[in-house]
Amino acid sequence: MTRPTETSPEALRPGESRAPLVSRPDREALGAAAQLMQTERPIDLELLTSVISRAFAQTMHMIHVANSRKDKRAGDPKVGGHPASCASSIHILAALHLVVREPQDFVACKPHASPVDHALHHLLQLFRQEGQDGQAPQWVGFEAAARAMHGLRRFSTPEHPEVFQSYHAKSDFDSFHFLPSGSVGIPPVASAYLSLAYRYAKDHGWELPANPHFWSLIGDSEFREGSLLEVMPECAERQLGNVCWIIDYNRQNLDGTRTSNPTTLHGADCERIERTALANGWRVVQLRHGSFREELFKQEGGAALREVFERAFSDYEYQMLLLKRDAATIRSRAKSRSAQASALLSKLSDADVVRAFADLGGHDVARLVAAYEFAKQPSDQPCMIIAHTVKGWNLACAADPSNHSALPDKQEQQAILTAAGLSWEQPFALFDPASREGRFLAQRRDQFRAGIEAHDRLREQNRALVRAAIERDGGIPESLDIDLSLFPSAHTQWMWGQLAAKLVRIGTSDEGGPHTGPKELSATETRWRTAADFVLTLSPDVGTSTNISGAMDSRIYGPDDQKPLDAELQLKLRHPQLVSHSERWTRHVRFEIAEANAMSAAGSFGALRALTGLPFCPIMTVYDFFVKRALDQLYYNLYWGSEFIVLGTPSGITLSSEGAQHSWKSDIQMPNLVTWEPLFAIEMDWILSDAIRRQMLGLNAGRSGVLLRAVTRAIPQRQLLELLRKHAASKQPGAASAPLAPAGANWVDALDESTLAVREDAELLAELRRNCLAGAYYLVDWRGYAGYEPGDNVVHVFSMGSVATEALEASTLLLQRGIFANVIHVSSPELLLGILGEQSGYEHLCSTLGIDGDLHAVEGAGESEAGLLSLAGRRVPILATCDGEAGLLDNLGSIVGVKQKTLAVRKFSKCGRPDEIYAYHHLDAASIVEAAGELLARTALENLRVSPSALARFQGMPRQRPDWRELWPKNAPEAH
């Protein structure tokens, strides 16, 4: 597809000016940089202090209101909020929002500091409400904004829609370019990959807002999360110089004061964090001291005092002294470390000693601004700022180990409001527009509003561009038309490889590059052009083993600072070329064994349609077993509404010879996730094509995450049509003048099905496609065959995935015993009976497939007497079989109201061939046959019991108690 612009010259290109590292040995360099930037960007500290004081008070008041609601009931869980964690971040966020951040920037903030963001945005008047019925979002006026400030953690209703969730959420009024939060450790990773996604989009010629910066605020305990450590090397390897992580280093976590071991860590934890970041290729700013301290350091003994503050105390000791707030103790502890420092401290008043002790860089706006400016200098290295802070800054609970959930009492809250010039009556007042603060905030408000509106316009423009391009292509086809004629036996993972290669070939057909041969696009391929352009693949080191070598070869996206050496060294590699570069024909993002990273990246690329109007469609190929490694990231992506596809392959115990330790399938049900398990190769094509089409056209509400499982067990592909053609419903209308018999079977009064004219294959496949995409279809359908008697000799076998082969075999064996076992393949458990199935009232299962719980009258077990028939009521039982946990298909029976038995994976697996493994797990044909017999016997045992009150009503007595049916007249059975 033709791009609106060439790659912007402003894009950060690999290899561009490398900023100097700022770490301990170079601390002076930061001092210089800070000075320089302070003079370059004049900041009015007095004004900012006044704004911050009000934001602080309003943050605290939001939490206070949330915890003082009148409608609280006895037994309700606590409301909570995190005043101390907010206080610790107040200056960090204020410096960002009030001074440095640009409208196009992104922020991922530690979840429990979200009230600070809201309070600052309130003062900046940056609340926006989604427009109704497709209208543009509206800026919110003061009244509604104040209601929102009263609405933290409140249930939203149509009458009171103005609420904030506990942690940053898309529904918040100030969610523009804020990443949702909740689980710590994940949003900063998503943010880093957003930086990559933006760069990818730009390098591929799309128009995006200029140079966003990706800020994350991270707690110091949060920084122990493996997800953050897992992504750090990548941020540097991928040269994400516009990523900045700010560590709120307050030395406390939820449980109390952090007590890292200074002996083995060789110092305080901030030193370890710094070394970790440096070792991983980050620039580091250690923001320890505030300006008051820095002034002291200029005096005689200042260097020694600096050394004492930086080196003398463990985190734990420092925290305890902070809590003690006692000048004499501080002096005496300092004295034992350094006579010079002690001499300087002895010249200070008690108040100044305590002040100096607590004067940390993370509460110093000027130094924070300087550090942010440093982070923003062009660089190919990400930047970490370790901002030393006090948890509970300015609160009575400051530095108290128990302060994580502590709430200021009413008296303290009153004092906080008063100090900020606010009253209990008008706690969320804005500054007078004529005041200096009012004018400053209005100017920044206008800058942000204009930036945000321009961003909206660009997004709409991109959307229109893509829509028009798809229309010009002729709309997205239903399949990618892979020619399977040369592959009589194929597996779904192989098919994924074919599809990936084709998508990439089509998408890059006009991009140049090594693989663009003379081959013209076919008519169908031309219709895929725009959509394919947005597809990219990702994989945590299992691309070649999941059959996508073709899609990866020479198409690895990344920095182009290493050149392939095979030609130069005259090596003939029988391996895809995997050295990265940033040309437009790149389509694959490689990962080390880092499933969580890849999942986060899939989520970030998949967020681009909502953010920029460009519907990038990331497809992550991963061993299904290891999807579990990234479950929290998957949940995050889904909650975020990101649009992405995860190809979990190979999956389940069908891995057989490799499956001993890898065989627990990622059986997941989460909102906004649709799961699939195709059986035949063509289904893979339909499902993938449909998922991409839905994403391109915005038709994936409630199912924007797609988990598609594949296997490496091949099956004959012709089997599909062969089976379909046997269905009575597949015969030409009017052809079946009598009930059918299987081919070659000599049944009385029945027609050999193979002698009847069959409808066109294309027609059968179109119908099959519809059913496959609705969640299930009949592979074997005995309806219309002679002797088919529901309630007597019929059982429905629902099979999912590769075990269909065994289900089919069992069906044949059962027919030999006179039992008609329909085999219904479940292509999507989610659509058939999961959250999406429930939403549709199980329409496909109950109506299209016609699975019901009807009671069929058949002859009973008892003797028939003169004038009396012995009848039994029996239903058609359900047998489910799947390579996965039973829960996936277990509630089919309860949905339709029949007995069900499920054959599933209930123990750890071991190595073997598929048939051996299926037998080991009782999923083989013999086990299915046995289970069918058991089920049929059990349905026959349905006893009829009659209560005395029912008998009385039969005899004409009135009902004793109200008829419950009258309570739900809509649901009452027609006859009762």
Contact region for ligand TPP (CB under 6 A) — 105-113, 543-551, 715-723, 866-874?
105-113
Residue 554 CB, nearest distance to ligand TPP (Å)? Answer: 39
DSSP tally for the chain: helices H, then strands E: 35, 24
Residue 250 CB, nearest distance to ligand TPP (Å)? Answer: 5
Contact region for ligand TPP (CB under 6 A) — 38-46, 118-126, 204-212, 251-259?
251-259
Residue 254 CB, nearest distance to ligand TPP (Å)? Answer: 4
Cα separation of the two ends of the chain: 62
Residue 785 CB, nearest distance to ligand TPP (Å)? Answer: 56
Question: 593: left (phi > 0), else alpha (psi -120 to 50), else beta?
Answer: beta
Residue 185 CB, nearest distance to ligand TPP (Å)? Answer: 5
Binding residue (CB under 6 A) for ligand TPP from 50, 125, 195, 221 = 221
Name the residue number minimizing CB distance to ligand TPP.
219
Under the binding rule (CB under 6 A), the answer on residue 222 touching ligand TPP is yes
Going by C-alpha positions, the residue among 335, 269, 176, 241 that lies closest to residue 21 is 241
Residue 230 CB, nearest distance to ligand TPP (Å)? Answer: 14
Contact region for ligand TPP (CB under 6 A) — 110-118, 168-176, 579-587, 652-660?
110-118
Contact region for ligand TPP (CB under 6 A) — 107-115, 507-515, 529-537, 909-917?
107-115
Under the binding rule (CB under 6 A), the answer on residue 64 touching ligand TPP is no
How does DSSP assign 247-267, residue by residue? EEE-SB-SSSB----TTTTTS
| Cα 85–chain centre separation | 26
Residue 269 CB, nearest distance to ligand TPP (Å)? Answer: 10
Under the binding rule (CB under 6 A), the answer on residue 112 touching ligand TPP is yes
Under the binding rule (CB under 6 A), the answer on residue 252 touching ligand TPP is yes
Q: Which of 257, 586 has the CB closer to ligand TPP? A: 257
* Residue 611 DSSP code: H
How does DSSP assign 413-474, residue by residue? HHHHHHHTT--SSSTTPPPPTTSHHHHHHHHHHHHHHHHHHHHHHHHHHHHHHHHHHHHHHT
Query: Cα–Cα distances in Å, from 835 out to 305, 605, 839, 842?
Result: 62, 25, 6, 10
Size of the site for ligand TPP (CB under 6 A): 18
Contact region for ligand TPP (CB under 6 A) — 248-256, 321-329, 490-498, 727-735?
248-256
How does DSSP assign 685-700, residue by residue? HHHHHHHHHHHHHT--
Spell out where 508-661 has E strands.
535-540, 588-591, 617-622, 644-648
Query: How, if at all, do strands 751-752 and 740-741 pair?
Result: parallel
- Binders in 69-88 for ligand TPP, by CB under 6 A: 85, 88
Residue 223 CB, nearest distance to ligand TPP (Å)? Answer: 7
Residue 391 CB, nearest distance to ligand TPP (Å)? Answer: 5
Q: Which of 111, 613 has the CB closer to ligand TPP? A: 111
Binding residue (CB under 6 A) for ligand TPP from 7, 67, 253, 544 = 253
Query: Cα–Cα distances in Å, from 254 out to 204, 401, 453, 707?
Result: 44, 9, 39, 35
Residue 85 CB, nearest distance to ligand TPP (Å)? Answer: 3
Q: Which of 288, 515 has the CB closer to ligand TPP? A: 288
Under the binding rule (CB under 6 A), the answer on residue 254 touching ligand TPP is yes
Contact between residue 344 and residue 72 where contact means Cβ atoms under 8 Å apart = no
Contact between residue 792 and residue 818 where contact means Cβ atoms under 8 Å apart = no
Site string for ligand TPP, 390-409 (x = CB under 6 A): -x------------------
Binding residue (CB under 6 A) for ligand TPP from 234, 248, 792, 924 = 248
Query: Cα–Cα distances in Å, from 87 out to 56, 287, 648?
Result: 7, 17, 43
Contact between residue 781 and residue 800 where contact means Cβ atoms under 8 Å apart = no
Binding residue (CB under 6 A) for ligand TPP from 114, 165, 195, 250 = 250
Task: Please provide residue 947's backbone torsions phi and psi, each rounded to the nearest 5 degrees.
Answer: -80, 155
Q: Which of 232, 931 has the CB closer to ligand TPP? A: 232
Q: Angle 614-620-626 (CA atoms, 0-180°, nearest 5)? A: 145
Reported as type and span, the H/E element at residue 246 is strand 243-249
Residue 171 CB, nearest distance to ligand TPP (Å)? Answer: 19
- Binders in 181-220 for ligand TPP, by CB under 6 A: 183-185, 219-220
Site string for ligand TPP, 358-397 (x = CB under 6 A): ---------------------------------x------
Q: What distance in Å separates the CA atoms of residue 163 and residue 224, rounded to the nearest whole number?
A: 31
Q: What distance in Å separates the CA atoms of residue 855 and residue 969, rounded to the nearest whole number?
A: 23
Under the binding rule (CB under 6 A), the answer on residue 677 touching ligand TPP is no
Residues forming contacts to ligand TPP in the complex (CB under 6 A) are 85, 88, 110-112, 183-185, 219-222, 248, 250, 252-254, 391
